[in-house]
Amino acid sequence: MLLAHRIRLVPNNAQAAYLTRAAGTARFAYNWALVEWQRQYHASLADPALPKPNETALRRQLNAIKRTEFPWMLEVTKNAPQMAIIQLGRAFENFFARRARFPRFRRKGRDDRFTLSNDEFRVEEKRIRIPKLGWVRMRERLRFAGHIVSASISRLAGHWFASITVDTPDGPPLLPAENQGVIGVDLGVTRLATLSTGETFAGPRPLRALLRQLRHLSRAFSRKVRGSRNCSKAKLKLARLYARIANIRLNSLHQLTTSITRRFRTIGIEDLNVKGMLGNRRLSLAIADMGFAELRRQLMYKAAWRGNQVVVADRWYPSSKTCSHCGYRLETLCLCQRWWICPGCEIRHDRDVNAAINLRNMAVSSTVSACGGDGAGLARKRKTKPAPVKQESSSKVAFVSRASFA
């Protein structure tokens, strides 16, 4: 199982300058290879006798000319330009497979990164050895044990990070959950998450809290002369504030998802159309500030690590409008209505708690019975139907494979 650990580096001024040169070399090699790829491709269309471009030929072509045309490339590790061209080849593979868009040029300040293969660096305690640079301090130790595959060095908001990929032994990297039963998780704007047990988690809303400071720095940056030293300083301040907002949000999401996956084996969630929800200009800021998509992503891979099961309800499942006690369904339910009384059983429902209970019931009904038959849940269906297995989830359950998070 491939796992990546992102660790912040603590380089001195000379080391930071080297990392900047290495990232610039990787960016130049990527852009050069992209231009050559397009030129050779159009040439092969005009003359079918010419071969079509590929990343292996482009790497050999760059090695043949870099000593004479680009001698400054020799000042940094050879992995920087070579791995950049390999990444371009993967980008074209994804493009031809219709998994991604056409590769675009890398830009300075936005794509400051380079990659090292496993035979070009070492990690010991709180330091990493980079070719032609030496040992660079890290803020923490590598958390995962196993075979180190690669490392990606990148810069974000003026800070350098090393994302180290490790091939860990088979088996879940985390302990199994406590198995406190089945839980339903309802996401909202007023409260980040409401559990079927009645627990609520209020989101930190970092964007809303720091919006005034963000507007001030954005206005100051827009007034600076482009290319000046003051413009660079203002840009760095703005980038660090954005990074702070993202870190606050990620920290709260990690705490919530870790708590849920540590306690419950089966988790029921809803499939939200976040992109469509952002079209509401009155709620777009609050929705984006919560991070629904990131919360679901963390739930999925952490559940896979612990061997848990995540059941995703259909996008049109009326979890809020359905009574969790008698099953009565309302025709309409206004978004501003936070509670309602069921006309069938006259029970007063909290909107979010009722939706979480319905998601829990949906997750329970979507599990397989002891005899091996399918349940009658409203979870998302898979394309292929597996054979019935005792005490396993049915074909309507959204499975999470460990390899998909490698």
Catalytic positions, written as ranges: 186, 270, 352
Q: What are phi and psi of 334, to 5 degrees?
A: -65, 145
State how far the Cα of 140 lies from the Cα of 123, in Å rounded to an integer: 11
Q: Are strands 309-313 and 348-350 parallel, antiparallel or unpaired?
A: unpaired
The string over 110-122, giving b where at least 16 C-beta atoms fall within 10 Å of a residue's C-beta and e elsewhere, is ebbbbbbbeebbe
State how far the Cα of 298 lies from the Cα of 346, in Å rounded to an integer: 38
Yes or no: say if 287 and 205 are a contact pair by the CB < 8 Å rule: no
Helix axes 79-96, 55-69, angle to 10 degrees: 150
Beta-sheet strand order (sheet of 200-201): 200-201, 193-195, 182-187, 266-270, 309-313
**If we measure between CA atoms, which residue out of 64, 99, 76 comes closest to residue 28?**
76
143-147 own/partner pairs: CB under 8 Å, 24+ apart: 143/5, 144/3, 144/5, 144/168, 144/173, 145/169, 146/3, 147/118
